[in-house]
Each structure stands twice: as C-alpha cells, then as structure tokens.
Amino acid sequence: MLPDRIAILGPGLLGGSLLMALRERLPEANLRAWARRQESVDAVLLAGLADLASTDVSEVVKDAELIIICSPVEHMAALASAVTLGQPSKGCVVTDVGSVKAPVVSALEDIFNRSGLQFVGSHPMAGSERAGLEAARADLFAGQACLVTPTLFTADSALKITRAFWQLLGCRVLEMTPEEHDRNVARISHLPHVMAATITLAALQEDFTAARCIGKGFRDTTRVSAGDPDLWTGILLQNRAEVLQTLADTQARLSELLAILENVDEVALRRYLREAKMLRDAVPPAV
Amino acid sequence: MLPDRIAILGPGLLGGSLLMALRERLPEANLRAWARRQESVDAVLLAGLADLASTDVSEVVKDAELIIICSPVEHMAALASAVTLGQPSKGCVVTDVGSVKAPVVSALEDIFNRSGLQFVGSHPMAGSERAGLEAARADLFAGQACLVTPTLFTADSALKITRAFWQLLGCRVLEMTPEEHDRNVARISHLPHVMAATITLAALQEDFTAARCIGKGFRDTTRVSAGDPDLWTGILLQNRAEVLQTLADTQARLSELLAILENVDEVALRRYLREAKMLRDAVPPAV
C-alpha cells in the first residue's frame, strides 16, 4: 500500500523521528532526507537513518513517491517550490507536519497542483519542548492523534496514502478541514503554549526566588514554554486570528476569576474549578 | 532522632502517603491515624498502615510525640483545637501539610502555644490531581521540596524534628517565613493551578470538539485542573491576596501578548517566548 521511495525534508525532531520510525516499521523502504545544513546531512547518514541524504532538494526528491515536508511552517512554501523543480515520481504524494493548516494548505496546494503532484495537509499531534535530531525518537508518533486536512482538491488516492502512512506510524488519524484544524489547534495547542510562557513570565521574571520551591505542578503546566521560540513565533503568526480569538476568551475567563476572588465569592470559585475539572476529566486519556 | 509515636490526622493523598512512607522508612514507629469517616479508618487498618486508627482525635493523639495535620486548610484550626483537648505527650511537636502558611501558622501557633505543644508549619511540594487514600504512594515525597516555615515563636528542637521528619521521607527541606512561603507558592503553585483551570475552560467549555485532537502539550499544561475543587477553593481563599497579585501580573502579561499579536510584532513575540524559555530552562530539574 505504501510507496517505496520516501523523502523527508527537514530531519529535526519530527523529521528525524519519522526516519527512525520508518526504518523500524518499513525496513525495505528507500529513505531519503534533505537538510539545510551539511552537518545535519552527515548526522542522518552517520545514524544510518537514510539511504540518501543531501542539502540538494532535487537530488533527494528525484523519483520519490511520497514526500513529507518537516520544516518550520514559514519555510514550507519555498521548500515546496524547490520540490516542484526536482523530478519526483509522477503522481507523487506530498504531505507535511505543520502546526498550522489553512495558510499552509492553501499555499502548498497551489504550488503542487500546478505541477501535477498531490498535496494533503497533515499535523501529527506529537512533539516535545526539545528540538532537533538529538531529541528524535522512533516512538514519537505512536498512539498520538494525526490531524489530516483534505480539501475539495484532494485526490482520494492521495488521502488514502497519507492516512495509511500515519496509521503505519501508530497514529490515530482524524480528518477535518484546514479551517477546523486551525480553530481546534489554536485552543488545544497554541493556547496552552502561549499560556505556559505567560505563566512562566508572571511567576518568575520579576523575582526568580520562588523557582527553588517548584514542584511537579509548575513543571508540567509550563513544560512547553521551553519550546523553540523561533518555531513558535512562526506558528503563532501563521495562526494569528484564531490565537487572538482564544486568547481574548482566556482573558475574559481570567477577568471573571479575578472578580470572583476580589468578591470572595466562594460559591462561584468552586463552580469555576468544578467546571474546569469536569471538562478536564472528560478529555480522552492518552493511549 | 525521630520520636516513636506519630499521629497522622487525615489519611487522604498526603496523609495516606505519609503513613506508607513511614511504614517503609521507620518500621519500628507506632503509627496512628485519625479520619473523619469510619470507612477511612477501616481502609487504613485494612491496608495495615497504622497501629491504631479511629474517628476520635483524643484516642489517636494520646501520648503522641509527633502529629502531622493533613486535613484541608480550612479545617486545620478546628482539628488543632481537638488535638489540644486530647493528651499528647509533653513537648509534642505538631506540623501540617497545608498549601497556605501565614493564616494557618498564625492560627495554629496561637492554639498550640497556649497548650504547651510545639507547632512548626510545613508544606511538602508533593501531590497529584488525584485525591484520597486510593491515590496515596510511599514515594510521593521522595526528591520533592518541603517548605518549612518557622517563626520567632518556633523552638529549635521542634524545628530540628520537623526537618528530620521530612528529610527521612526524602524531601529537600527549605526554610522561609510563612509570608515568603505564601508569596512564592502563589506564583509557582496556585497560579499554575488556576491558569490550568482557565485554559481548560477557554479551550473546551464553549465547544468540546477540539478535545479529540488533544496531545501531550494540552494534557500536561492542564493536568492540575483535574484537582479537587473543594480543596482548591479553600487554598485559594486562604491565600487570596497573593493569588490576586500574581493573577493581576498574569493579566498584564496576557494584555501585552494580545497587543503583540494584534500588531503582528514578530520581534516582540520572539522576545516574549525567548524570555519565557530562558526562565523555564533555568528552573532546577526534577530530582
């Protein structure tokens, strides 16, 4: 079902983990990797993660049947254009791992459809506050949701291959439109990310002394604020409208909470915490 | 060094974990447990966690040399008064596990000093979003910070016993005033808690559909919002002034972030995320 020649563009945390997982789960596949820097190419080859690795996109995508773009979202369009200048196999399917979908899918569909390639947007809900190939792991995707965002232009065959690819890696595939994706992910990924940063700043920036008292609660609540600031700057700007909306909602809830505490409104405070607990308890457990 | 007869008042998550840890680390000690409900008394005895357990405070504290009050903070004063009506050993040391210290220490010092008992406030930075004896674990305290809050009225001998007690359980003991405690803990524990609830409400209350997309980021950032709403209502009201201050700081940071996104200020956004990452990276790692 899955094609043989697979190219991963950008062997960072996600791309590197894809290579590792594919080596395990598709040992016969011909894997290729493109990296911007020669050191990354060398690291991929040294670890035996690809049969071919290069800083030249054309070399890597030549005859490829499946390409996964794993660069930061703001570089995806340029990389997509470079792919179309290479000679991927006819009918080659291209997907990505970007955290924002509407602008990415719109730009990449446009680029690939003009070149006879098939693009389907993907976003595996896997990651870490760590970055780079050093942090990559073969099991990063196992048990995680992968959001796949077909459009009216998506060919059934391309969607099938994309779904099969993520399922092979152990993902639970969920389909939605790029717009639904961006709305959902603003709330359950981008919001927690910026709030983790906000909590860290509010708690420690003026006075770091409280840091020595920190327990598991603070550590977990703010873990993602150690993520790559450049990567997240790109994500937040690409999904700016949805992030602004959910941040405005958050600010309204925070104002409500401040009023409750100012008024010593015990009943309302208990209700606020109860409603949050009820929702949190209803979140499907991790697999 | 540590006394032989130790009474735990309130065998929930923390009290139950104390009993388990003491059974392991102080097997010769005579352990007693008080619980409000007979079912909890029965559960403690069935699990072999205490040599004596009862719903009668006087019976449990009779001749006790060390007492740890593990009830919700708003019930501590009533429980302390009940202790003074029993007949603990002369010079008995009393401590607690409350998440708020200034009002608790002030009330309990007053009660115990009048009765010739020695009170020292404690707050082990251990816990879980789960509650009750079912969630208790012998290793809950190992490697965690325990904040101990002596005052001008604290006897050296009582402080020594309190420190030795937490160190026996594997805690890193940090001393500070009750006021310093409440300021620090508002920022690194109470703030993350209410913000986890706020993020959960903002993300999911109006529309729960995003829940199926949730990954590890949301799970970790909001984990503590599944904590006991009654317990946390008490904590937040007892530490209301400090929590209000840190929430106001958080609201100011959030307004700053909204303005940055509204203005598409990429430089300021990157700086915001970088400063948060720098602080988060500087937090001492978990042991």
What's the ipTM?
0.93
Contact (CB<8Å) A251/B253:
no
User: Which residues in chain B are contacts of A187 at CB distance < 8 A?
Assistant: 202-204, 210
Minimum Cα–Cα distance from A176: chain B residue: B213
Q: Which pLDDT score, from 0 to 100, does residue A285 have?
A: 87
Contacts of residue A216, Cβ cutoff 8 Å, sequence gap at least 6: B125, B126, B127, B144, B286
Beta-sheet strand order (sheet of A118-119) = A52-54, A30-34, A5-9, A66-69, A93-96, A118-119
Q: Which pLDDT score, from 0 to 100, does residue B285 have?
A: 87
Contact (CB<8Å) A240/B255:
no
CB atoms closer than 10 angstroms to residue B287: 9
- To the nearest whole Å, the CA of A287 is away from the closest chain B CA by 10
Tell me the C-alpha distance between B275 and B267, whole Å.
12
Of B144, B232, B251, the CB nearest to A258: B251
Q: Is A46 exposed, middle or buried (0-12, 13-18, 19+ CB in 10 A)?
A: exposed
Strand runs labelled E in A138-286: 145-149, 172-175
One-letter amino acid at A162 equals: T
Contact (CB<8Å) B202/A196:
no
For A68, the token pair is 């996964």
Of A192, A225, A270, the CB nearest to B222: A192
Partner B, chain A 109-128, Cβ-Cβ below 8 Å? 125-127
Q: How confident is the model at residue B263 (pLDDT cuts 50, 70, 90)?
A: very high
Q: Which pLDDT score, from 0 to 100, does residue A170 have?
A: 96
Partner A, chain B 167-196, Cβ-Cβ below 8 Å? 174, 181, 183-185, 187-189, 191-196
For B109, the token pair is 């010092």
Q: Which pLDDT score, from 0 to 100, does residue A286 have?
A: 84
**Taking each helix axis from N to C terminus, what angle separates A240-262 and A191-204, rounded to the nearest 10 degrees?**
50
The whole-number average pLDDT for the span B262-266 is 98
Residue B1 pLDDT exceeds 90: no
Report the percentage of chain B scoring pLDDT > 70.
100
Q: Which pLDDT score, from 0 to 100, does residue B39 have?
A: 97
Residue B127 pLDDT exceeds 90: no
The whole-number average pLDDT for the span B212-224 is 95
Report the percentage of chain B scoring pLDDT > 90.
96
Q: Is A137 helix (H, G, I), strand (E, B) or coil?
A: coil
User: Which residues in chain B are contacts of A14 at CB distance < 8 A?
Assistant: none
Contact (CB<8Å) B193/A277:
no
For B130, the token pair is 């789960």
Q: Is B47 helix (H, G, I), strand (E, B) or coil?
A: coil
Q: Which pLDDT score, from 0 to 100, does residue A216 have?
A: 93
What is chain A's pLDDT, residue by residue, as a tens digit (287 residues)? 799 999 999 999 999 999 999 999 999 999 999 999 999 999 999 999 999 999 999 999 999 999 999 999 999 999 999 999 999 999 999 999 999 999 999 999 999 989 999 999 999 999 888 889 999 999 999 999 999 999 999 999 999 999 999 999 999 999 999 999 999 999 999 999 999 999 999 999 999 999 999 999 999 999 999 999 999 999 999 999 999 999 999 999 999 999 999 999 999 999 999 999 999 999 998 87
Q: With contact defined as beta carbons under 8 Å apart, do B189 and B92 qualify?
A: no
Q: Is A111 helix (H, G, I), strand (E, B) or coil?
A: helix
User: Which residues in chain A are contacts of B272 at CB distance < 8 A?
Assistant: 197, 201
A259–B contact, CB cutoff 8 A = no
User: Which residues in chain A are contacts of B215 at CB distance < 8 A?
Assistant: 125-127, 144-145, 188-189
**Taking each helix axis from N to C terminus, what angle separates A229-238 and A191-204, rounded to the nearest 10 degrees?**
130
The whole-number average pLDDT for the span B209-231 is 95
Could you identify the residue written with the tokens 């004063």?
B77
Tell me the C-alpha distance between A44 and A42, whole Å.
5
Contacts of residue B218, Cβ cutoff 8 Å, sequence gap at least 6: A188, A189, A192, A283, B203
* CA dist A143 → A6, B216, B230 (Å): 22, 11, 34
Tell me the C-alpha distance between B64 and B83, whole Å.
10
A273–B contact, CB cutoff 8 A = yes
Beta bridge pairs of residue A149? A121
The vertex-A280 CA angle with A279 and A285, nearest 5°, equals 120
Tens digits of per-residue pLDDT, B6-26?
A: 999 999 999 999 999 999 999
A108 phi-psi bin (left φ>0, alpha ψ -120 to 50, beta other): alpha
Question: Which ranges of A66-215 would DSSP assign to H, the alpha helix?
Answer: 76-85, 102-113, 156-168, 178-185, 191-204
Strand runs labelled E in chain A: 5-9, 30-34, 52-54, 66-69, 93-96, 118-119, 121-124, 145-149, 172-175
For A51, the token pair is 């049969």
Q: B84 or B1: which carries more pLDDT confidence?
A: B84
Q: Which pLDDT score, from 0 to 100, does residue A212 have?
A: 94
Contacts of residue B83, Cβ cutoff 8 Å, sequence gap at least 6: B9, B57, B61, B67, B69, B94, B112, B117
Tell me the C-alpha distance between A229 and A27, whole Å.
35
A90–B contact, CB cutoff 8 A = no
Tell me the C-alpha distance between A154 and A29, whole Å.
25
Contact (CB<8Å) A286/B216:
yes
Beta bridge pairs of residue B93? B66, B118
* CA dist A117 → A87, A139, A156 (Å): 11, 29, 13
Contact (CB<8Å) B126/A229:
no
The Cα diameter of chain A in Å comes to: 68
The whole-number average pLDDT for the span B75-90 is 96
Tell me the C-alpha distance between B235 and A56, whole Å.
59
Residue B287 pLDDT exceeds 80: no
Tell me the C-alpha distance between A254 and A252, whole Å.
5
Tell me the C-alpha distance between B51 and B45, whole Å.
8
One-letter amino acid at A82 equals: A
State the average pLDDT for chain B: 96
DSSP-derived letter for residue A186 is: I
Contact (CB<8Å) A192/B269:
no
Q: Which pLDDT score, from 0 to 100, does residue B244 have?
A: 98
Of A174, A187, A229, the CB nearest to B203: A187
Interface size A-B, in CB pairs within 8 Å, comes to 309
